[in-house]
């Protein structure tokens, strides 16, 4: 960081010409060309990181939201200056948005660091954007407030309520099973996502919004406000004001994101029955400040933290119901005895102080009490064993308990292409008790760890009414999906992890009770297969640009899939 980072407003982070006064003079002159008065340019600056894009439906209301942020900054005596970063629209990116999360984090960090601003409001929402912004802000360590997009409203199809994207999958599964027609699926396609905002269920975006609020980086009460609700605009105004207030009383991300607030966030993730992706993202955010999240610790917290929130994909309701039921505040109140109450929020308040002034409203049909939870233990569990020495994740709250203790025959797909080619082949040798295994879909694979872990039930089994099977991969799963799906197997197949050694016909044993995932093949045979294994991935030296940077530096799932060089020096 240059010495100029200690300056204020426009004279912060000066362009280097070897003459400081000239740099200030030139910058003021060029800024004045945008119509600013000298009085405006003398104010401290709050940057507004805008991740809107024509390729991001979830952020389509950002112009209005950012106007409200600007109003708040002006009320606090600052000058609001909006700047663009890249945007990651979940369904618009190939091969998968996760591959670009670190690119957006680098963009966010470097633009916060390089441009003249004293504080920043991060405006994001769609799955990878909030983690990217928090990772970047943690590394830049300038006072920052996270403002999220807010969830979409639900829609209707006949008498049924629809919300992206659990219902996208539910109806697609019905279509695959021949239960609904091509005409009906086309009608549903037009009704699944009808307003601005992020997916309407407790998927990755909503989980990360709740995590941002629990960490203390977003204002209290703001995570669940629907995107189109007037309160969302008031939250934007308040976020701008809070950022402006932090200029004279700086609270840095490193004071907010601590081991204790990260543990609170993990508790909330578990109580929400939140997205498996959030484990990767929270690990990456915490990692930027040197905080580790061992998966064994996740299991300890999971055993002590009840599931409280009855939202899809696990439960019944949608994000708008969660908002009206009391939102994150109501969940935090229930978890109070388990939380660290001395953690700081960007308002300067501690979590304990926030809860002391909490209004106390809750709708018990959506948010259960700690005394009568939906499940006594958390929604996520980490599995270890010879198939996942560094761990794997199962969302047990979204899985079929009848499969929790199961031994079955492996049916292996060596890649996503292999899966697409064979899964619906009527000749595929597979039964409902078999275990589907997908290899080469982890972070180092060419596919960049897509949300492909929700392997489709083979069409011939789906047509027989099979709704769930054990599916194992080094891929991820959408936060809106459900099933007995083991994900994030580490180390992954593409670097020769044990997953690469599985063959069709092997026996695999899953035990949720023992938190184990084992390949029942003797060690001598595994050693023989290991000696024969060769990588199918294109090596980094035959790639270029960001693809090469990614291939050289991406870490495994248990390390948050960040780039090693973005972690703080040891
Ligand atoms: Fe943006 Fe689901 S597509 S949150």
Q: Is residue 137 in contact with ligand 1, taking CB distance under 6 Å? A: no
Across 300-312, average pLDDT: 96
Confidence at residue 479, expressed as pLDDT on a 0 to 100 scale: 77
- Which residues touch 473 (CB under 8 Å, ≥6 apart)? 437, 438, 439, 441, 452, 453, 455, 486, 487, 489, 499
314 — pLDDT class (breaks 50, 70, 90): confident
Based on its alpha-carbon atoms, the radius of gyration of the chain, rounded to whole angstroms, reads 24
- Ligand 1 pocket check for 481: Cβ under 6 Å: no
* pLDDT confidence of residue 2: 42
Specify the pTM.
Answer: 0.96
pLDDT band at 176 (very low <50, low <70, confident <90, very high): confident
Residues 6+ apart with CB under 8 A from 240: 46, 48, 68, 69, 70, 71, 72, 73, 74, 75, 76, 78, 80, 121
Is the pLDDT confidence value at 233 over 60?
Answer: yes
- What average pLDDT score do residues 512-541 get? 96
Index of the ligand 1 atom closest to the CA of residue 149: 4
Q: Atom of ligand 1 at shortest distance to CA of 164?
A: 2
Name residue, tokens 């009808």: 194
The 8-class DSSP code of residue 249 comes to S
pLDDT in tens, 342-399: 999 999 999 999 999 988 899 999 999 999 999 999 989 999 999 999 999 999 888 9
Residue where the block lists tokens 């000298």: 38
Residue 124 CA, chain-centre distance (Å), reads 12
Q: Which of 132, 166, 202, 205 to mutate to test the pocket of ligand 1 (most atoms within 8 A of CB)?
A: 205
What number is the average pLDDT over the span 120-135?
Answer: 98
Whole-angstrom distance, CA of residue 258 vs CA of residue 218: 15
Mind listing the pLDDT tens digit for each residue in 540-552? 999 999 999 999 9
Helix axes 204-215, 327-335, angle to 10 degrees: 60
Quick one: pLDDT at residue 3? 41
E strand segments, 423-541:
435-438, 471-473, 485-487, 507-511, 516-519
- 58 C-beta closer than 6 A to ligand 1: yes
Regarding the beta carbon of 90 and ligand 1, being less than 6 Å apart is answered yes
Q: pLDDT over 90 for what percent of the chain?
A: 92
What is the pLDDT, as a whole number, of residue 1?
Answer: 40
Q: Write down the pLDDT at residue 491.
A: 98
C-alpha of residue 475 to centroid of ligand 1, in Å:
18
Residue 4 has pLDDT above 90, yes or no: no
Average pLDDT over residues 225-249: 98
pLDDT digits (tens, 9 = 90+) for 463-476: 899 999 999 999 99
Note whether 339 and 351 are within 8 A (CB).
Answer: yes
CA of 92 to the centre of ligand 1 (A): 10
With beta carbons less than 8 A apart as the criterion, state whether 379 and 305 touch: no
Please give the average per-residue pLDDT across 247-273, as a whole number. 97
Residue 522, sorted as left (phi over 0), alpha (psi -120 to 50) or beta, turns out to be beta
Mean pLDDT to the nearest integer, 132-158: 97
Q: Closest ligand 1 atom, CA of 127?
A: 4
For the chain, the residue count is 570
Using CA atoms of 276, 57, 443, 131 in order, give the dihedral in degrees to the nearest 10. -60
Residue nearest to atom 2 of ligand 1 (CA): 199
Residue nearest to atom 3 of ligand 1 (CA): 90
pLDDT value at position 6? 64
Distance between Cα 152 and ligand 1 center (Å): 9
Token code pair at residue 464: 């027989």
Average pLDDT over residues 302-306: 96
In the three-class reduction of DSSP (H, G, I as helix; E, B as strand; rest coil), residue 104 is classed as: helix
Q: How far is ligand 1, taken at its centre, from the CA of residue 158, in Å?
A: 24
Beta strand 435-438 pairing with 471-473 = parallel
Residue 183 has pLDDT above 60, yes or no: yes
CA of 48 to the centre of ligand 1 (A): 21
What separation in Å is there between the alpha carbon of 23 and the centre of ligand 1?
42
Q: Omega of the bond prior to 527 within 30 degrees of 0, cis?
A: no
Q: Strand 388-395 vs strand 485-487: parallel, antiparallel, or unpaired?
A: antiparallel
Domain with CATH 3.50.30.80 in the chain: 381-537
Mean pLDDT of 287-299: 96
- Average pLDDT for 178-185: 93
Write the CB contacts of 350 (distance below 8 Å, at least 6 apart in sequence): 341, 342, 343, 344
| Alpha carbon nearest to ligand 1 atom 1, residue | 126
Contact 220, 209 (CB under 8 A): no
Task: Summarize pLDDT for 38-92 with one digit per residue, the tens.
Answer: 999 999 999 999 999 999 999 999 999 999 999 999 999 999 999 999 999 999 9
Substitution candidate for ligand 1 out of 162, 164, 169, 477 with most atoms within 8 A of CB = 164
Pocket test for ligand 1, best of 198, 202, 277, 480 (most atoms within 8 A of CB): 198
Fold of 381-537: Glucose Oxidase; domain 1 (3.50.30)
Average pLDDT, whole number, for the chain? 96
Distance CA 96, CA 204 (A): 14
91 pocket-lining for ligand 1 (C-beta < 6 Å): yes
Residue 119 has pLDDT above 90, yes or no: yes
DSSP letters for 136-165: HHHHH---EEEEE--BPPPEEETTEEE-TT
User: Where residue 226 falls among pLDDT bands split at 50, 70, 90?
Assistant: very high
Average pLDDT for 127-141 = 98
Q: What is the pLDDT of residues 395-412, one digit of tens each?
A: 988 899 999 999 999 999
65 Cβ closer than 6 Å to some ligand 1 atom: no
């Amino acid at each position: 960081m240059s010495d100029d980072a200690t300056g204020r407003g426009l004279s912060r982070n000066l362009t280097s010409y070897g003459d400081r006064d000239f740099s200030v003079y030139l910058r003021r002159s060029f800024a004045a060309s945008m119509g600013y008065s000298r009085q405006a340019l003398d104010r401290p600056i709050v940057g507004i990181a805008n991740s809107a894009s024509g390729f991001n439906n979830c952020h389509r209301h950002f112009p209005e939201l950012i106007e409200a942020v600007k109003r708040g900054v002006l009320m606090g005596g600052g000058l609001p200056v909006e700047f663009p970063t890249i945007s990651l629209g979940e369904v618009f990116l190939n091969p998968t948005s996760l591959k670009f999360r670190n690119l957006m984090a680098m963009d966010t960090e470097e633009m916060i660091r390089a441009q003249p601003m004293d504080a920043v409001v991060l405006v994001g929402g769609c799955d990878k954007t909030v983690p990217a912004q928090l990772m970047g802000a943690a590394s830049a360590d300038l006072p920052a407030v996270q403002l999220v997009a807010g969830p979409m409203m639900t829609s209707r199809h006949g008498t049924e309520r629809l919300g992206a994207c659990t219902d996208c999958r539910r109806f697609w599964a019905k279509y695959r099973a021949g239960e609904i027609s091509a005409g009906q699926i086309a009608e549903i396609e037009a009704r699944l996502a009808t307003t601005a905002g992020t997916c309407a269920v407790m998927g990755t975006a909503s989980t990360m919004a709740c995590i941002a609020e629990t960490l203390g980086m977003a204002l209290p009460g703001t995570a669940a406000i629907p995107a189109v609700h007037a309160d969302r605009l008031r939250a934007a105004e308040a976020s701008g004001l809070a950022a402006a207030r932090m200029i004279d009383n700086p609270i840095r991300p490193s004071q907010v994101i601590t081991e204790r607030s990260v543990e609170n966030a993990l508790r909330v993730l578990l109580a929400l029955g939140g997205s498996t992706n959030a484990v990767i993202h929270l690990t990456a955010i915490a990692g930027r400040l040197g905080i580790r999240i061992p998966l064994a610790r996740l299991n300890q917290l999971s055993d002590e933290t009840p599931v409280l929130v009855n939202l899809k994909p696990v439960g019944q309701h949608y994000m708008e119901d969660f908002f009206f039921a009391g939102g994150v505040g109501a969940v935090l109140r229930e978890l109070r005895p388990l939380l660290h109450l001395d953690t700081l929020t960007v308002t300067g308040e501690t979590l304990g102080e926030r809860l002391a002034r909490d209004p106390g409203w809750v709708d018990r049909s959506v948010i259960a009490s700690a005394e009568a939870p939906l499940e006594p233990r958390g929604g996520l569990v980490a599995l270890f064993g010879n198939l996942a020495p560094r761990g794997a994740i199962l969302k047990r709250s979204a899985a079929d308990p009848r499969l929790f203790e199961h031994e079955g025959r492996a049916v292996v797909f060596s890649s996503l292409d292999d899966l697409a080619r064979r899964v619906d082949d009527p000749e595929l040798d597979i039964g409902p008790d078999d275990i589907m295994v997908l290899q080469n879909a982890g972070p180092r694979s060419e596919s960049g760890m897509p949300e492909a872990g929700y392997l489709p039930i083979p069409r011939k089994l789906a047509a027989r009414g099979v709704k769930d099977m054990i599916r194992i991969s080094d891929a991820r799963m959408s936060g809106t999906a459900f099933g007995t799906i083991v994900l994030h197997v580490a180390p992954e197949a593409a670097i020769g992890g044990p997953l690469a050694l599985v063959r069709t016909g092997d026996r695999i044993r899953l035990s949720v009770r023992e938190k184990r995932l084992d390949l029942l093949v003797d060690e001598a045979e595994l050693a023989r297969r290991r000696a024969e294994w060769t990588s199918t991935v294109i090596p980094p030296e035959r790639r270029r640009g960001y693809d090469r940077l990614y291939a050289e530096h991406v870490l495994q799932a248990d390390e948050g899939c960040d780039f090693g060089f973005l972690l703080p020096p040891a």
